[in-house]
Amino acid sequence: MFKIIEKQSLTPNTDLMIIDAPEIARKAAPGQFVILRKDETCERIPLTIADFDREQGTVTVIFQKVGKSTRELGELKSGDVIRNFVGPLGKPSTIKMYGGRVILVAGGVGIAPVYPIARALKDAGNYVYVIMGARSADLIFWEDKMNAVCDELILCTDDGSRGRKCVVTEPLTELLEAPWITGHVWAIGPAIMMKFCCKTVEPFDAPIDVSLDSIMVDGTGMCGACRVEVDGQMRFACVDGPEFDGSKVNWDVVLARKKVFSQEEQEAMQVWNREHQSEH
Partner 1 sequence: MTEVNLTVKERMSIPRHEMPLQNPVVRAHNFSEVALGYDLETAMAEAERCLQCKNTPCIQGCPVQVPINRFIMALRAGDLAKAAQIIKEKNNLPAVSGRVCPQESQCESRCTLGLKGRAVAIGRLERFVADWDLQHSQDQIEKAPATGKRVAVIGSGPAGLTCAADLARQGHSVEVFEALHEPGGVLIYGIPEFRLPKEIVRKEVAYVERLGVKVHLDCVAGKLYTVDELLHEQGFDAVFMGTGAGLPVFMNIPGINAIGVYSANEFLTRINLMKGFRFPEYDTPVHVGKFIAVVGAGNVAMDAARCALRMCGLHQDGKGSQKPEVHVVYRRSREEVPARAEEVEHAEDEGVQFDFLTNPVEILVNVSNVVTGMRCVRMQLGEPDASGRRSPVEIPGSEFVLPVDTVIMALGTRANPLTSEAAPAVERSPRGNILVDASNGRTDEPGVWAGGDVVTGAATVISAMGAGKRAAADIDAWLREKDKDNSRLPLAV
Ligand X SMILES: Cc1cc2nc3c(=O)[nH]c(=O)nc-3n(C[C@H](O)[C@H](O)[C@H](O)COP(=O)(O)OP(=O)(O)OC[C@H]3O[C@@H](n4cnc5c(N)ncnc54)[C@H](O)[C@@H]3O)c2cc1C
Interacting residues with ligand X (CB under 6 A): 33, 43, 45-48, 62-64, 66-70, 109, 112-113, 213-216, 220, 242, 258, 265, 269
Interaction between residue 185 and ligand FES (CB under 6 A): no
Q: Considering beta carbons, is residue 26 or 77 the nearer one to partner 1?
A: 26
Calculate the CA 111 to chain-centre distance: 7
Parallel, antiparallel or unpaired: strands 227-230 and 233-236? antiparallel
HSE at residue 188, side-chain half, CA atoms within 13 A, is: 27
Nearest to 36 by CA among 28, 27, 46, 26: 46
Closest to ligand X by CB, 48 or 157: 48
Q: CA quadruple 76, 78, 83, 89: dihedral positive or negative? A: positive
Give Cβ neighbours of residue 126 (< 8 Å, ≥ 6 apart).
Answer: 97, 98, 101, 102, 183
Residue 222 binds to partner 1 (criterion: CB under 8 A): yes
Phi, psi of 41 (to 5 degrees): -90, 0
User: Of 64 and 173, which CB lies nearer to partner 1 in the complex structure?
Assistant: 64
Q: Residues touching partner 1: how many (CB under 8 A)?
A: 45
Distance in angstroms (rounded) separating the CA atoms of residues 43 and 10: 23
- Please, what is the minimum distance in Å from the beta carbon of residue 55 to ligand X? 23
Which partner in ligand X, partner 1, ligand FES, none is near 42 (CB below 5 to 8 A by kind)? partner 1
The minimum distance between CB 278 and partner 1, in angstroms, equals 16
HSE-CB for 93 with a 13 A CA cutoff:
31
Instruction: Give me the least distance between CB of 143 and ligand X, in Å please.
Output: 17
Query: In whole angstroms, how close is the CB of 225 to ligand FES at the nearest point?
Result: 5
Question: Which residue blocks in 151-190 are alpha helix, DSSP H?
Answer: 169-177
The smaller minimum CB distance to ligand X, of residues 11 and 126, is found at 11
Cβ contacts of 261 within 8 Å, gap of 6 or more: 215
63 binds, among ligand X, ligand FES, partner 1, none (CB under 5 to 8 A by kind): ligand X
The span from the CA of 183 to the CA of 102, in Å, is: 5
According to CB under 6 A, which residues from 209 to 228 bind ligand FES? 216-219, 221-226
Look at residue 70 and give the partner it binds from partner 1, ligand X, ligand FES, none, a contact being a CB closer than 5 to 8 Å depending on partner kind: ligand X
Binding site for partner 1 (CB under 8 A): 23-24, 27, 37, 41-44, 68-69, 83-89, 217-225, 227-229, 234, 236, 239, 252-253, 256-257, 259-261, 263-265, 267-268, 271
